[in-house]
Amino acid sequence: MYLHTIVAVITALSAAGLAQKCPIVIEGRTPKGSTPATFDTTASLFDSKNVKGADLTFAQIIKLPNVTASLFDTNSSTLPTEITLSDTSIFAPSATNIQTGFRRCELIPAANNGSDPSTLGVKVIHFSVMKDEARKLNTSHEYQMVFLESKDFSTNQVVVKTGTISGLNNSLPGDITIVGNVNTAVGKLFSTEFTSGWHNFGIVMDFNKNTTQILHSTGSAPLTAATQPISNDISGQGQYHFGLLKKPTGDNLKDVTKEGFQEAGINEGVIYGGVFIEEGGAGCVSLNP
């Protein structure tokens, strides 16, 4: 288990001077000894059926690269995990709803059914992301790398993006950009250049006050507050997605799920680490292991 630093989250982070652990609500770190095929079984920490190409298994998608451990994977009992995309990464929610406009694969925590406690109270969503230089993204496209999708599928309340983001003029294609509820005018919450190596995030979601705060660091440095708590409509509960959703390019698209351009020969990926959700009540948030 991890010893976590406890801090008070008021308008920023203040050290409380105690080394304790915050209760973990959802564990998403890949245990050592796992294989890509584990993700297709009930032993997986994630939904073994979704979200992936209709004719693919997670064993064909997941990679377990030999890279430096992320900030919250450093005890060597958990492994960085890569999500990859190919031409066949076409998700079909049903036989009549085939998302040919997207290329996507995301992991949804098995314990996160859309109505569970992970979207109530105050929660801190932890994850790290790293580029795979051998599977580079095509940043002329927009990518979602982490997002919360509402229970009724009507919105994404918070989204971690990269690439060329539609409707957002104050972000660069080479940035990691976090936006608020896509059905509101809140827009960009935070952005940073997507440099090589690990980018570590903690997103403090106060579902009581409808605020979102971003914590960030790189490499093995502890998380620090990158923003104040920002007003953002995160109501509606829902499910957390960790993975890649690649949107199409094209003008005047009416249904991006089924229209637009995706180039052939896709071989792309992003490496994830340190995925877990902790209870953030009483100002508890982990800044380092």
- What is the reported pLDDT for 21? 84
Amino acid found at 210: N
Q: How far apart are CA 137 and CA 143, in angstroms?
A: 9
- What is the reported pLDDT for 113? 97
- What is the reported pLDDT for 196? 97
Q: How far lies 83's CA from each of 10, 58, 86, 250, 278, in Å?
A: 35, 9, 10, 25, 23
Q: Kind and range of the H or E element at 59? A: helix 58-61
- Do 182 and 226 meet the contact criterion of CB atoms below 8 Å apart? no
Q: What is the mean pLDDT of each run of 10 residues along the chain (289 residues)?
A: 38 37 95 97 97 96 97 89 98 96 98 98 98 98 98 98 93 96 97 98 98 98 97 98 98 96 98 97 92
Half-sphere exposure of 243 (CA within 13 A, CB side): 27
- What is the reported pLDDT for 11? 37
Q: How far apart are CA 5 and CA 124, in angstroms?
A: 14
Its pTM stands at 0.93
Any idea what DSSP says for residue 73? G
Q: Kind and range of the H or E element at 25? A: strand 24-27
Quickly tell me which residue has 């959802």 as its tokens. Answer: 26
Q: How far lies 287's CA from each of 83, 106, 110, 192, 210, in Å?
A: 25, 25, 25, 19, 22
Nearest alpha-carbon partner for 107 in 212, 242, 255 = 242
Q: How far apart are CA 122 and CA 256, in angstroms?
A: 33
